[in-house]
């Protein structure tokens, strides 16, 4: 069978989903973005258009290439429109029941017998999603990082039931078609990157919460003292405090390690809707 991905479905056109759709379209694939309504579809296309414009202005992308990428993007509110996709990438909210329900639906919809069902989850074990389908051997984690058009890394995560062929096709898609650097992870909450990152970010939140140091000083310590490109609290704002908390809860649920438990301040900020850059306020203000 041909292992090249020519048609890709991205379910969820938010920050991550639109980034995934953009890099696939720029790589020459036909991409269908599924969203809940027409307004969300328009926002996804607008987000991608703005990203392509930035790439053109910075000299990283030719204008003709940007227009070509946009021409390969379509949107839909009907899951049935994804039936002929070679690959479907789930990029909805980081919520296990919602993802399981979606995977049940995608399993019924995808018509090609070798179609891959992938999740961009940051932390939910792949097996939990795979067992919502009748073809767990075709389910794999393909975890991109924000911003997707800029960051090269992709984690390919295989469950106990993911076939070797599915894993190889997923890796070839990310490495050869998208030009990403691929790392392989076993199927455990947090995978490689977030299993290391989230306890570090939570430690910074606890330090700030205790009054030990200011947000600026905590971040400056890691940027100027450890050569990190971004401090942990600014990074948390970039990731999204809701996503950070969801990953922390997944890690704590699996390992019961206190360092992975969401600090009270993080919980309160999420409850207040202070989610970071995407809402204009987190540990820092982004309101112009």
Q: Facing residues of 142 across strands?
A: 156
- Residue written as token pair 């202070």: 274
Q: Please report the DSSP string for 18-75 in residue order.
A: HHHHHHHHHTT-EEEEE-SSHHHHHHHHHHHHHHHHHHHHTTSS-HHHHHHHHHTEEE
Whether omega before 147 lies within 30 degrees of 0, making that bond cis, reads: yes
Sign of the dihedral defined by the CA atoms of residues 197, 15, 136, 162, in that order: negative
Find how far residue 192's CA is from the centre of its chain: 14
Q: Which member of 22, 35, 96, 155 is catalytic?
A: 155
Contact 204, 217 (CB under 8 A): no
Annotation marks residue 95 as catalytic? no
Q: What DSSP element (H or E) covers 144?
A: strand 139-144
Annotation marks residue 138 as catalytic? no
Helix (H, G, I), strand (E, B), or coil: what is residue 155? strand
Annotation marks residue 120 as catalytic? no
Contact 22, 69 (CB under 8 A): yes
Annotation marks residue 84 as catalytic? no
Q: Facing residues of 153 across strands?
A: 181
Q: Which member of 96, 143, 171, 249 is catalytic?
A: 143
Alpha-carbon distance of 150 to 50, in angstroms, equals 14
Q: Which member of 85, 194, 250, 260 is catalytic?
A: 194
Q: Which member of 18, 122, 132, 260 is catalytic?
A: 122
Contact 241, 274 (CB under 8 A): yes
Alpha-carbon distance of 238 to 146, in angstroms, equals 8
Known catalytic residues are: 122, 143, 155, 194
């Amino acid at each position: 069978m041909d292992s090249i991905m020519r048609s890709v479905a991205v379910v969820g056109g938010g920050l991550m989903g639109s980034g995934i759709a953009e890099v696939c379209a720029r790589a020459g694939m036909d991409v269908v973005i599924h969203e809940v309504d027409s307004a969300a579809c328009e926002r996804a296309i607008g987000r991608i258009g703005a990203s392509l414009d930035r790439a053109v202005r910075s000299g990283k992308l030719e204008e003709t290439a940007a227009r070509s990428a946009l021409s390969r993007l379509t949107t839909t509110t009907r899951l049935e429109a994804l039936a002929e996709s070679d690959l479907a990438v789930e990029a909805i909210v980081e919520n296990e029941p919602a993802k399981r329900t979606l995977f049940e639906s995608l399993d019924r919809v995808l018509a090609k017998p070798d179609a891959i069902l992938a999740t961009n989850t940051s932390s939910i074990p792949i097996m939990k999603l795979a067992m919502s389908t009748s073809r767990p051997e075709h389910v794999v984690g393909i975890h991109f990082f924000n911003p997707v058009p800029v960051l090269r890394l992709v984690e390919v995560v295989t469950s106990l039931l993911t076939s070797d062929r599915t894993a190889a096709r997923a890796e070839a898609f990310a490495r050869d078609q998208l030009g990403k650097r691929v790392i392989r992870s076993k199927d455990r909450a947090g995978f490689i990157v977030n299993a290391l990152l989230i306890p570090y970010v939570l430690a910074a939140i606890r330090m700030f919460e205790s009054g030990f140091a200011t947000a600026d000083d905590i971040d400056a310590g890691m940027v100027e003292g450890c050569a990190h490109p971004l401090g942990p609290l600014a990074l948390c704002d970039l990731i999204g405090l809701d996503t950070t908390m969801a990953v922390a809860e997944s890690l704590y649920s699996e390992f019961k390690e206190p360092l992975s438990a969401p600090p009270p301040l993080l919980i309160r900020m999420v409850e207040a809707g202070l989610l970071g850059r995407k809402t204009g306020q987190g540990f820092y203000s982004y309101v112009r």
